[in-house]
Structure 1
Amino acid sequence: MPPIGEFGRPPSLPDHEGAPVVSPMYWMYELGQASLTPARAFADATRLMFQSPLNPFTTTEFGKSVAASCEVFERTTRRYGKPEWRIDRTDVNGVSTPVEVRTVWEKPFCKLLHFRRKFLRPLRETQPRVLIVAPMSGHYATLLRGTVEAFLPNHEVYVTDWVDARMVPVAMGRFDLDDYVDYVIEMLHALGGHVHVVGVCQPSVPVLAAVSVMEARHDPFVPASMILMGGPIDTRRNPTAVNTLAAEKGMDWFRNNVISKVPFPHPGFMRDVYPGFLQLTGFVSMNFERHLEAHRKLFDNLVKGDGDLVEKHREFYDEYLAVMDLTAEFYLQTVDEVFVKHALPKGELKHRDALVDPSKIRRVALMTVEGENDDISGIGQTEAAHDLCTSIPAERKVHYMQKGVGHYGVFNGSRFRAEILPRISDFIASVEAAGETSAAAE
């Protein structure tokens, strides 16, 4: 989870009796959203008017330009809700198979979803079970829709569906990095063992910590393998711009500038959070010119009537611009432990006051995946897990670096499907085969 983009310091509330300084930016954001509601409604009505077949201007360059301008304005100023998974079928052994999404485990800040494939007849061979731990870093778990779709034909898939912190009442309690690790352990227990856990980006650290804690406890439900993808295990290696920001600013800057209370009338009213819209601002600022050009092309394609390109833009930005809030304690602890103190690679990370020791991991195979052009987690940051897991035999360790992909391409897109996923599937299959051989020997 990268910290954020570069921001100026907004005004903050006074510090009363030692209470943390909390910025009112969230309240101002809500006020801005409310004030734009009439303008968005007017723009939408105008767009419909200039797209009506009864309007003589509809087919003219002027009419198309007005309608396109209204849509671009409405899309760039709206708040995007949580996207749907939109996964209702998959192909298994060449057979189109219905998919049912079910919640199989739930706590206040997360649901564990099972993408259950409804077979007409049982498979000849049981397929591996995979727990995909989605990033809790601003976007919803649906960002991994393509990842899930790619795994489904050959795996039984479970995914963590993290809950927007502004939707969790304060009475439900805190959620920090220790809780995250506990959630992962509890989900592995709920699945009953013999599962392969995949940590995508930010979860790499808590997944590695959870497995380390389980091994130290001799937990019988440790996963068969863990696959860490584009994660910040050791951000001292090839640090990126988002890695160095935390060290440059320091924790006091983050506490005073990016933490705000959830405003009324959200269920999480008065909960301290790192707002999703700030995280989104950081994402957009990193590639501002590219996003500006994408919306200029959207306008051109709307005027030209290129429906395919327009729909691709809508699908991507409906997902990209949908963001969720993170609890302040989780965000600040993660920034401090992962990006400032580098606690895990230094052997100083603690879970519930006990040291996290990856060298305790012996029964779990390890695979790491990185992208050559990753500007979030630089090359070597995820591979660092191999140096920490010293007790895993070399033949049960695999590292793969995919050329020509950035951060998103590590877990989604054509190269993920064609080159990365087959290697992950082969790794999982080899672990399964080794487990069967070991069981037969016993």
Structure 2
Amino acid sequence: MFYQMYELNHAALAPMRAYADAMRMTFRNPVNPMSHTSFGRSVAAGFEMFERTTRRYGKPEFGLEQTTLKSGPVSVHEKIVWSKPFCNLIHFERCLPANHPQDPKILVVAPMSGHYATLLRGTVETLLPDAEVYVTDWTDARMVPVSDGRFDLDDYVDYIIEMLHELGPETHVIAVCQPSVPVLAAVALMEEDGDKFAPSSMTLMGGPIDTRINPTGVNELAQAKPLEWFADNVIMQIPWPLPAFTRSVYPGFLQLSGFMTMNLDRHMIAQKDFYLHLVKDDGDSAERHRDFYDEYLAVMDLTAEFYLQTVDTVFIKHSLPKGEMMHRGRKIDTTAIRSVALQTVEGENDDISGLGQTEAAQTICPNIPDAMRQHYVQPKVGHYGVFNGSRFRAEIAPRIIEFARANARADRSSKTAPKLVKGGRSH
């Protein structure tokens, strides 16, 4: 009943939210003399705070309409090139000049962990000048009718394999956080099968490959409770009249509450500062706050079967690093990976995937040649900074592009990939 109460509460607040928004516009209207006073701005700020606190944040747009190449700016168009009920594959198609050299083809696998793929907007924007970028746009489970079937971790692995087949040879795959495990599993299956569409390289960023290493608060919670506890306490049914009525899910609002609680003091300070920026009429600072929280507070539901299987496989049993992970009755053998280059990236201050958890992929893939490996630790960044922000743009993204270029299968005979890197230094 908790999900139903959440929806009823949201509906009950709708009239007050509409009134607050109308009053905010009234006190912000330049025709109103009060809008030019500190009192008027304070009232408008209070109403905006109420409206933003009680609204539901919809799926944001990528909004990437242009990128800048060395030859100058070009337009970018979003194009869905593959689709299934729980995911669309988006190609950010660039209008390239005729003489433009071939860039790496990169599949960015966004996390299915509560936020939309647009959380990686900065990642995509940074890669676009140097690569053909494709992104997995996962669908909110509350919008997928029960008639479209289930979706679990096995399906996730199948989706990745199908997308790699769709994109063809010479594809490089990047897994951001949660998909590091299913991407590594998919590559292992493809290598064992001698699949010609196995990617040329894979980059795993801030992923929970082995959560026994430097366990974080998230890891400790998963270890402290049996799987039955999660099934009984965080799994709920979608209420009517949503499209996925009766589907069992892990609600996005529960995931968001967990994220917020981990850094509650920081979020409280941010809300206070936002109010003060509005009162002082500091439009730029207020707009930056809106942009961040419009993205951060937009969450999606996960299917119950995917969530529970992930918790059990990744965080409780540690199946992949133990060599015990199964995919539809078949054991995942990461030692089968021989021709796919491996790059792992971690943040020094990551409080979601602890330092060393992603690097563990280097250990469980022993048959990848040393010349096709790279590990990098980015100093002074947390989890978010691994795939976004100034240090990602300046330090991490260039390494990803360089690694992809160095590990194009057609060029491996004449090029040497970067050597194994540790401690934030490359050589």
Structure 1 segments (4+ residues) deviating >6 Å:
none
2:125 is aligned to 149
Counterpart Cα distance in 2 of 1:316 and 1:139: 13
Counterpart Cα distance in 2 of 1:247 and 1:193: 39
1:437 is displaced (CA, Å) by 4.7
1:169 is displaced (CA, Å) by 0.2
Alignment equivalent of 2:17, drawn from 36, 40, 57: 40
The amino acid that maps onto 1:311 is E
1:309 is aligned to 285
Alignment equivalent of 1:204, drawn from 170, 176, 180: 180
What are the equivalent positions in structure 2 for 1:232-311 lying under 5 Å apart?
Answer: 232-311=208-287
Q: CA RMSD in A?
A: 1.1
1:328 is displaced (CA, Å) by 0.2
Counterpart Cα distance in 2 of 1:438 and 1:53: 67
What are the equivalent positions in structure 2 for 1:288-367 lying under 5 Å apart?
Answer: 288-367=264-343
Change beyond 3 A, Cα 1:173–1:210? same
Q: Contact 2:222/2:315 (CA < 8 Å) preserved in 1?
A: yes
2:44 is aligned to 67
Secondary structure of 1:226's counterpart equals strand
Counterpart Cα distance in 2 of 1:166 and 1:189: 28
Counterpart Cα distance in 1 of 2:99 and 2:69: 9
Counterpart Cα distance in 1 of 2:228 and 2:355: 29
1:358 is displaced (CA, Å) by 0.5
- Tell me the alpha carbon deviations over residues 308-340 of structure 1, each in whole angstroms, 9 at most, x when there is no partner: 101100000000000000000000000010000
Counterpart Cα distance in 2 of 1:123 and 1:320: 40
1:9 is aligned to none
1:182 is aligned to 158
Counterpart Cα distance in 1 of 2:304 and 2:296: 22
Q: Contact 2:87/2:136 (CA < 8 Å) preserved in 1?
A: yes
The answer for unaligned runs of 5 or more in structure 2 is 416-427
Q: Does 1:231 align with 2:179?
A: no
2:191 is aligned to 215
1:281 is displaced (CA, Å) by 0.3
1:439 is displaced (CA, Å) by 8.8
Percent identity between the two aligned chains: 62
Counterpart Cα distance in 1 of 2:99 and 2:64: 21
Task: Give the TM-score normalised by the residue count of structure 2.
Answer: 0.96
Secondary structure of 1:81's counterpart equals coil
The amino acid that maps onto 1:93 is K
- Tell me the alpha carbon deviations over residues 70-128 of structure 1, each in whole angstroms, 9 at most, x when there is no partner: 00111111100000011000001141100010000000000000000012x22442111
1:435 is displaced (CA, Å) by 3.1
- Tell me the alpha carbon deviations over residues 47-85 of structure 1, each in whole angstroms, 9 at most, x when there is no partner: 111112332322222111000000011111110000001
Counterpart Cα distance in 2 of 1:430 and 1:67: 55
1:42 is displaced (CA, Å) by 1.0
Task: Give the TM-score normalised by the residue count of structure 1.
Answer: 0.92
Where relative contact order (Cα < 8 A, 6+ residues apart) is larger, the structure is 1
- Tell me the alpha carbon deviations over residues 325-370 of structure 1, each in whole angstroms, 9 at most, x when there is no partner: 0000000000010000000001110001000010000110000000
Aligned length: 415
Counterpart Cα distance in 2 of 1:351 and 1:437: 31
Q: Does 1:86 align with 2:63?
A: yes
Counterpart Cα distance in 2 of 1:52 and 1:197: 49
- Tell me the alpha carbon deviations over residues 263-319 of structure 1, each in whole angstroms, 9 at most, x when there is no partner: 111111110000000000000000011101101111000011111101100000000
The amino acid that maps onto 2:176 is V
Secondary structure of 2:75's counterpart equals strand
Q: Contact 2:152/2:309 (CA < 8 Å) preserved in 1?
A: yes
Bigger mean CA offset, 95-104 vs 245-254? 245-254
Alignment equivalent of 1:435, drawn from 366, 391, 410: 410
The amino acid that maps onto 1:344 is L
What are the equivalent positions in structure 2 for 1:394-405 lying under 5 Å apart?
Answer: 394-405=370-381
1:135 is aligned to 111
Q: Contact 2:406/2:412 (CA < 8 Å) preserved in 1?
A: no
